Structure 1
Amino acid sequence: MAESRLDFIQPGHPLYEGELELRFRVLREPLGHTRASVKFPFEHDSLHLVLHADGAVLGCVLFHPEDAHGGRLFQMAVDPTLQGRGYGAKLVLALEDALRGRGFRHVHLHARAPVVPFYERLGYAVYGEPYEEVGIPHRNMQRDL
């Protein structure tokens, strides 16, 4: 694999379709959801950070600003063949650095139950009661930047 890069993109960027495909394969297809379920109504208002090499999207994480101080991290995905190698942490940390530079002070997210420990290692704390989203158990998590 060529050296990977992290870049912010927007819908319409040449890597955007690859981002959508990765999000579908990692986050929706295993749950039996359709490709149409990948897009969010606020795609165009969100930051899209992608990890890519040779034109292929290997990972992504999105952030939707909810006010001047914070918002929601969502659609975090890493190619299954690359999971467990630190790419997810690299994506989240790079996003957080960019958010700090833009004046954001806090982030929250809806974590699937199996990945709660991943986010805890990055400084996120669980709050509230467990709930179901997209048919699987989730926990709310947050952290100050």
Structure 2
Amino acid sequence: MIAVEQIEMSHPFYKQEQDLRNRILLRPIGLPDHGWEMDDHKAWHFVAVEKDAVVGCVILVPLADRGAQLKQMAVETGNQSRGIGRMLVEALLTFAKTQRLQEIICHARDTAIPFYLKSGFEIYGEPFLEVSVPHHHMRIPL
């Protein structure tokens, strides 16, 4: 059974979260490990756990004006299409509402756009390159 937990950086699952993000998000596009952890200290961390192993993760970084940015969403390759990403987004949105946030934004890779659209996000603005990968601005009002 998969459970989503909110964790702090001091939690033992944080190291597994880092490893997952490095393997799924950074290494495939040639970025160095730990290259996108600059917001970790101020972010809320969510992990999907199955049998004491992190199989998915996402962070939510607070922004000005009662908003936040969803970042670093990753699910183990062999566990994709099992609803883990959906579980993470649902937990993140539920939490965001308890924090009285008004909007969540994200930078979605082209391949992730259908997932975010199904989760209620909308595309806005023009496409752009981030770390040499095509992305779109997406948001969901709360």
Equivalence for 2:13:
15
The normalised TM-score by structure 1 is: 0.93
The separation in 1 between residues aligned to 2:32 and 2:66, in whole angstroms, is: 33
- Name the Cα RMSD after superposition: 1.1
Equivalence for 2:30:
32
Counterpart AA for 2:44: L
Structure 2: segments with no counterpart, 5+ residues: none
The separation in 2 between residues aligned to 1:123 and 1:72, in whole angstroms, is: 15
The separation in 2 between residues aligned to 1:127 and 1:20, in whole angstroms, is: 29
2:4–2:87 contact (8 Å) kept in structure 1: no
Matched residues, number:
142
Equivalence for 1:124:
121
Counterpart AA for 1:67: A
Equivalence for 2:106:
109
1:20–1:38 contact (8 Å) kept in structure 2: no
Q: Please state how far the C-alpha of 1:11 moved relative to its aligned partner.
A: 1.2
Runs of 4+ in 1 over 4 A off after TM superposition: none
Equivalence for 2:3:
5
1:48–1:61 contact (8 Å) kept in structure 2: yes
Superposed, 1:67-106 pairs within 5 Å as 67=64, 69-106=66-103
